Amino acid sequence: MTIMFNKDRPVQPGPTEGNLRVRFTGLNAGYSGRPVLHQLTARITALTMTALVGPNGSGKSTLLGVLAGVIEATSGQLRYAEGHPPAFVPQRGAVGDTLPLTVRQTVEMGRWGERGPWRRLTRQDRTVVDTAMERLAVADLAARQLGELSGGQRQRVLIAQGVAQQSDLLLLDEPTTGLDPESRERIAALLTELVTDGTTVIQATHDLDAARAADSCLLLSNGRLVGQGSPDQVLTTTALARIWQTA
Ligand SMILES: Nc1ncnc2c1ncn2[C@@H]1O[C@H](COP(=O)(O)OP(=O)(O)OP(=O)(O)O)[C@@H](O)[C@H]1O
């Protein structure tokens, strides 16, 4: 699927290319009257883990939002290889904690893309939800209200909702921020497992350990892509010092 972000041009279907899962060229995006992303061009290989790295405000969440389809780019080209629509796990803070939802209902929302909102779930949907909750170790919290949970528990529930979407493209916005080391490791291991099982994972992260464990990194600074490649190539002391000093 190819999405052309140019107000005058229609959406065009495009060919898939080799082992690419996502490719974007000259992508510009922002918020009303506020350009944020400038001329981003990158390729994301299927069945890899990509880390989006950069200081606060560099545009990581905006880029994920564009890739997830919740923010419309103003121009450029975004192309996905054949596959499911992306599953998007937003930042924990972006999800209201006063929503009157149980953990199970929250994870069940991951099936809405298949079933439609508030529709009765099939037995298979319920199995998918159970499996996602078990993978994230939140099954014993199923009846609890989302708002009663700790930050780390809520984060795991949101990731379970993403996993329940059964997409082969999972986008996560800072999935380990604010978590204790054990929860971070558990989530890192799960994301690696998902890649092995056939998912392409893209995560925005401030966790340099997570970024160093990724297959590739996109380094953002002021809405521009200033590095892309393997963690060793991109996360050099010099590059990190330069970018964080100017942030
Ligand atoms: N809803 C919005 N309306 C207007 N501007 C926004 C909005 N959301 C983000 N921005 C601005 O867009 C820029 C990029 O923000 P973004 O959240 O993409 O950065 P980020 O790299 O994810 O930051 P962080 O690491 O703090 O999450 C910032 O200048 C921010 O103030």
The pTM of this model reads 0.90
Residue 177 pLDDT level (bands cut at 50, 70, 90): confident
Q: How many residues does the chain have?
A: 247
Mapped onto helix, strand or coil, the DSSP state of residue 140 is helix
Instruction: State the residue for tokens 């981003």.
Output: 40
pLDDT at 6: 44
Closest atom of ligand 1 to 63 CA is 18
Instruction: State the residue for tokens 């080391």.
Output: 181
pLDDT at 97: 66
Instruction: Give CA–CA dist 44/23, Å, rounded.
Output: 6
Looking at the DSSP assignment, which residues form a beta bridge with residue 53?
219
**φ/ψ (deg, to 5) at 26:** 55, 40
pLDDT at 119: 75
Instruction: Give CA–CA dist 36/222, Å, rounded.
Output: 8
Tokens of 215: 């297959």
Closest CA to 195 of 179, 176, 172: 172
DSSP classification of residue 102: B
- Determine the distance separating the centroid of ligand 1 and the alpha carbon of 14, expressed in angstroms: 30
> Which residue of 27, 28, 32, 34 sits with most ligand 1 atoms within 8 Å of its CB, as the best mutation to test the pocket?
34
Among 148-157, 192-201, 225-234, name the one with the lowest average pLDDT. Answer: 148-157
Looking at the DSSP assignment, which residues form a beta bridge with residue 202?
50, 171
Domain 42-86+168-246 classification at class level: alpha beta
Domain layout of the chain by residue ranges: 42-86+168-246, 96-166
- Determine the distance separating the centroid of ligand 1 and the alpha carbon of 133, expressed in angstroms: 30
Give percent above pLDDT 90 in the chain.
69
Query: Measuring from atom 31 of ligand 1, which residue has the nearest CA?
Result: 57
pLDDT at 17: 58
Mapped onto helix, strand or coil, the DSSP state of residue 13 is coil
